[in-house]
Chains A and B, each alone.
Chain A
Amino acid sequence: MPKFRKETQVTSVTDTSSSILGKAAQATPAPLASRIRGISDRTMAWLFITPAIVLLLAINIFPLIWAVYLSFTNYRANRPNAPLENVGLSNYSRVLSDPNIWQAMQTTAHFVFWTIFLQTLIGFSLAYLIDRKFRGHAFWTTVILVPMMLSPAVVGNFWRFLYQPQIGLFNYIVSFLTGIPPSSFEMLGSVQLSPWAIIIVDTWMWTPYVMLICLAGLRSIPDYIYEAAEVDRASLWRQFWSITLPMALPFIMLAVLFRGIENFKMFDMVTLLTGGGPGSTTEVASITLKREAFESWRTGRASAFAIILFVAVFGLANIYVKALNKVKQR
């Protein structure tokens, strides 16, 4: 929010001594400052903002409008010479009545739900534990953060190796711990396990992110509240449920929002792990979209699907943010 709406009253504009930077309290209103230089604020503002806006218009907005236009046509990017026809809403109706697309949405929902659930649970627990401030917690926090810095595609590709039934480390460790022979189950090849295989990798990568936000939340709780609770002799259990959790809730919800949006868009990691297989078991929405747009090259229909996805994320995120603001106000 632009701060200058609450303009500070000028007390003195005469003090132009060299120590002025130190006397920051003596404020000058912005309009005055710019009047001195002779360029209006508006011009100045646009000079600063324009480059970024132009880039966004050229590379985000214009293409978006183009995609909306294409979604009403039968355009195919691999047949540039074919006649372009307006097909009205038929792309939309075909996308919405396509069982494959609904299945992809369901797969995505499953993936989003469980990754968020696990990441929030583990991430919050870790944050809570780290907040005990044991010796060396800063170092271990940094170690835990490492997976989220890495490329989901490159690391996902390597997880494919870890999940190999005979030679992979994952199956071997599971077998070591449980006694099941390592080649008796296929994380990536079985219909039952493959949805969990992608959830495990995503959770491994992104739990640290949730943990960090939760940590920020925990540390934003002022000490005096706990001190007051101590005075009231509230048990630790009670303190957790009545202070820690409610006060950290907006942060947790925020982490859920960010992860939700990211995983709704999920493409790279799943593509490299399972490619959507076996069958279509792990085919999340982005993979379906990619197949439609860049393998089938039905650009018009893919655009319609893309717009539907965008509207869905945008709508859900907005509803969620409203809920979040309500929680914050409490």
Chain B
Amino acid sequence: MSSVNSAHSVVEPGAMSKRIAASIVIAYAVITMIPLVWIFMTSFKSPPDSISYPPKIMFQPTLEGYCNLFTTRTRQTSEYIASLGTPTSTCDETTRSRNMVIAGPSNYWPRFKNSLLIAFGSTFLAVSLGTLAAYGFSRFRVPLADDLLFFILSTRMMPPIAVAIPIYLMYRQLGLSDTALGMILLYTAVNVSLAVWLLKGFIDEIPREYEEAAMIDGYTRMQAFFKVVLPQATTGIAATAIFCLIFAWNEYAFAVLLTSGEAQTAPPFIPTIIGEGGQDWPAVAAATTIFLVPILVFTILLRKQLLRGITFGAVRK
């Protein structure tokens, strides 16, 4: 286990080489952010601004994209609109200025809620089951442990479409198609392999003597696990959780094949947001922005654990 964060005093590089390194890295970082900044900017453009040629860098910001994202609209005659009375909200006003009226809410919010439920539900389950199993593998003599572990990991090598074929048939039989429960179970199963593998490493690092001592003190194995091991493993659990969450939050292939409406998550939904005619890019950008925010917040809050998880996984293999 190496740690990215710990200082290590290489023969200190010279100031010049540092400056060059800094400028290249910063340049790369800035370039890599351009598409994301563009998504953010597009979400505040009006539809005509978003598809103007050449692309507009300066524009009058508007919330139209966000309005369009959360509503469905129908085109009406201007006489009809004039007869409606005063608009009740900014969105109402923007919509009417395009000769349309708001017909109702769009499906984005239900899909976003599905994403929240499925991603957090499966992460919780995967980490719970993963911690238990990792502890089991770490502390007990399990027959064929190595084979089992390798096998568990190898299930992640299957292309998702290949996994989806039999799952599709199975869920059809069980009535789990297009249900959040089905998606949670599936994501949990996919994530549990990674969770076991990562967490076993973290738990291996906790000296077994701690809980043994606790047990001699009169704790049961369960109590020792909860009161001694779990607190020690929080970093590892957080790192694992964020990995599981990123996977479940971003997953597309299973979602597009196994859900059609009720349990559909945001990733398969966002590309299908269309306005009149083609894709409504400001609305798509707004949906993308809203969708990216939770994962960005998590990443920034838990970046230390995340870094540790990635490098940790690398070293352990």
Contact = CB atoms under 8 A, between A and B. Distances in A.
Q: CB–CB under 8 A between A and B in the complex?
A: yes
A153 B284 CA distance: 12
Given A21-B214, A134-B18, A227 B11 contact: yes
Contacts of B221: 33-34, 37, 39, 44
B290 to A, nearest CB: 10
B188 A66 contact: no
Contacts of B53: 166-167
B192 interface: yes
Interface string A208-228: 110011011101100100110
B81 to A, nearest CB: 29
Main secondary structure of the interface of A (DSSP, over half): helix
A23 B213 contact: yes
B84 interface: no
Interface in B253-278: 253, 257, 266-268, 270-271
Size class of the A contact interface (CB-based, 8 Å): 35 or more
Given A132-B17, A314-B157, A55 B22 contact: no
B136 A48 contact: yes
B298 to A, nearest CB: 8
Contact of B161 (A55, A168, A306): A306
Nearest to A13: B216
Main secondary structure of the interface of B (DSSP, over half): helix
A226 B13 CA distance: 12
A154 B140 contact: no
Interface in A215-274: 215-217, 219-220, 223, 226-227, 230, 251, 254-255, 261, 264-265, 267-268, 271-272
B284 A158 contact: yes
Contacts, number: 358
Contacts of B228: 21
Given A151-B292, A216-B311, A265-B159, 17 more contacts: A1-B146, A28-B216, A30-B140, A37-B215, A49-B132, A56-B192, A70-B165, A131-B10, A132-B13, A132-B18, A144-B32, A145-B299, A154-B267, A154-B287, A169-B38, A265-B158, A302-B165
Interface of B: 2-6, 8-11, 13, 17-19, 21-22, 24-26, 28-29, 32-36, 38-39, 42, 50-55, 129-130, 132-133, 135-142, 145-146, 148, 152, 154-170, 172, 185-186, 188-189, 192-193, 196, 204, 207-210, 212-217, 220-221, 228, 246, 249-253, 257, 266-268, 270-271, 279, 281, 284-285, 287-288, 291-292, 295-296, 299-300, 303, 306-307, 310-311, 314-315, 317
10 contacts: A18-B217, A28-B209, A62-B166, A64-B166, A77-B169, A157-B270, A212-B4, A226-B11, A268-B253, A306-B165
